Amino acid sequence: MAGRLLGAAVLLCLLDIAHTFAIEEQADVFKRTACPAFLAFDNAAYLADMTFELPCNCKPEEVSSVVWYFQKDMGGRRTTVLTDFAGTVVVDSGHIRTGSDVLKRFSIRMFSLIVFRAQVRDSGHYLCGTESGDFFYGYDVDVQPTERMAVAFVDRGQRARGDYSERRFSLFTGFWDWSSCDRCGVRGEQRRVGLCYVRSSGLHPRYRSAVPGVTSCGSGAVPARLRRRARLRGPEVAVRSCLSPCPKEEAPEEGVQAISNVISKLGERPWLPRVPTQFHRQPRGSHLTIACPGARPEHAVGWDKGSTRLYRSRYLVGVNSSMRVFIDHGNHLHIRRLRGSDRGTYFCWREGALVAGFQLRVTARQRRRRALGDPDTIYAIKAIGTSYVVICIIFVVVHISRCSRRLCRSPAGT
């Protein structure tokens, strides 16, 4: 017991030391980085439903806390304060919902602003400053939608869209690196997300980007006359097959392996992966959306129904117009108008590892009962009516008995 307490104390000390080093390292960064004399905005582009972090890269040493502000348009009158003036707001990402307001989807950690499950309406200008309105650093955030996302399946010979060029203006897709394989040991798939970018010599000089003269299509640096054309092009995603080996697991002892072999031979049920499994019961005809635990849109996620692989080449949203079962670009599995054939166990892969199972049971849809025609309503009305009649009878009997007693006690001549 004493050894465990000593180990816990040592671990807490190490955590305190690591936290102290992190604060000191952050302070050293602020000492080395001087704030610009003229506030500029760094361009950053993301896909909808992604989580992003905006570090406050500079601040004066005497400032101990920062305040984050949001403006939809640069210089706009409406400014939203995204933090309390202590700069200590922290939220639990597990309770975040897609439709939540940005004030419920952010967190402040080590002077950095973290926005969970970003939406297109979160696009705009984020400024790091003080309570008095002094700004140190700014970002121009462009969250691009997935509704008009173009898909190219490399195995079918499909390619990404070509560049669109005009005089002094061009649109192109900037692709990220290929993701890891979403499955291991079997054929899997990997994605490559591409966002829309603009190349022009007429961009606003107050905005900065990694490549001069290039910014994302939804950036505030794009001149007003070009924004309408830039909005015509959305993000893209490329999908291709892959094969990745599973990591080697430690072999069990010889006796344990022999017992396992005997049990597997005696068992009549097919083999099922040993992963945490949730149980869902849904009525027939309803809609169901399943999310892979711990997965984000940028992760490599795969779905199986039993031993059937639900590959994106067939089940990705938009492959055909009449899809009842599909996977969206945020890695969620959708089943519309549930049928009895949809029952079974669905498995979720994340970054090449099988992580969870969902056992679905489809129940008969309950019929809507009429307001006064169903047996329960009739029984309730009868019970209430009977109780009312009984109470009335008791009330009348009590009053009659009291009146009779008064008459019997009164003198005969009166």
Same domain, residue pair 59 and 111: yes
Residue 351 lies in a domain: yes
- Cα–Cα distances in angstroms (integers) from residue 9 to residues 5, 147, 275, in the given order: 6, 51, 33
Residue 68 banded pLDDT, cuts 50, 70, 90: confident
- Tell me the average pLDDT of the chain: 79
- Cα–Cα distances in angstroms (integers) from residue 1 to residues 11, 13, 15, 55, 98, in the given order: 15, 19, 21, 43, 46
Position 19 scores a pLDDT of: 43
Residue 1 lies in a domain: no
Q: Could you tell me the residue range of the domain that residue 285 belongs to?
A: 273-363
Residue 323 lies in a domain: yes
Tens of pLDDT, residue by residue over 120-140, are 989 999 998 887 778 888 999
Asked whether residue 238 carries a pLDDT value surpassing 80, the answer given is: yes
Q: What is the 8-class DSSP label of residue 316?
A: B
Tokens (6 digits) for 138? 């700014």
Q: Which range (94-98, 146-150, 152-156) has the least confidence? A: 94-98
Same domain, residue pair 30 and 135: yes
Mean pLDDT for the stretch of residues 196-225: 90
Same domain, residue pair 226 and 311: no
Position 20 scores a pLDDT of: 43
Same domain, residue pair 130 and 182: no
- For 346, phi then psi, to 5°, come to -105, 135
Same domain, residue pair 154 and 183: yes
Residue 229 lies in a domain: yes
Position 5 scores a pLDDT of: 41
- Report the largest interatomic distance among the alpha carbons of the chain, rounded to a whole angstrom: 122
Which residue bears the tokens 């649109």? 171
Tens of pLDDT, residue by residue over 284-311, are 999 999 999 988 888 999 999 998 999 9
Position 215 scores a pLDDT of: 93
Same domain, residue pair 132 and 204: no
Asked whether residue 3 carries a pLDDT value surpassing 60, the answer given is: no
Mean pLDDT for the stretch of residues 142-151: 89
Residue 163 lies in a domain: yes
**Residue 241 CB-density burial (10 A; 0-12 exposed, 13-18 middle, 19+ buried):** middle
Mean pLDDT for the stretch of residues 170-199: 93
Mean pLDDT for the stretch of residues 68-85: 76
Residue 16 banded pLDDT, cuts 50, 70, 90: very low
Residue 411 banded pLDDT, cuts 50, 70, 90: low
Same domain, residue pair 204 and 182: yes
Percent of the chain with pLDDT over 90: 36
Tokens (6 digits) for 45? 């582009």
Q: Which residue did the predictor score with more confidence, 267 or 307?
A: 307
> Domain with 72 in it: what CATH number?
2.60.40.10
Reference 246, options 354, 133, 381; nearest CA is 354
Same domain, residue pair 47 and 135: yes
Percent of the chain with pLDDT over 70: 76
Reference 153, options 235, 239, 236; nearest CA is 239
When mean pLDDT is compared over 76-80, 98-102, 208-212, the highest value belongs to 208-212
Asked whether residue 95 carries a pLDDT value surpassing 80, the answer given is: no
Same domain, residue pair 48 and 108: yes
Tens of pLDDT, residue by residue over 272-286, are 667 889 898 999 999
Position 32 scores a pLDDT of: 47
Position 382 scores a pLDDT of: 84
Domains identified in the chain, total number: 4
Asked whether residue 17 carries a pLDDT value surpassing 70, the answer given is: no
Asked whether residue 190 carries a pLDDT value surpassing 90, the answer given is: yes
Neighbours of 148 (CB within 10 A): 14
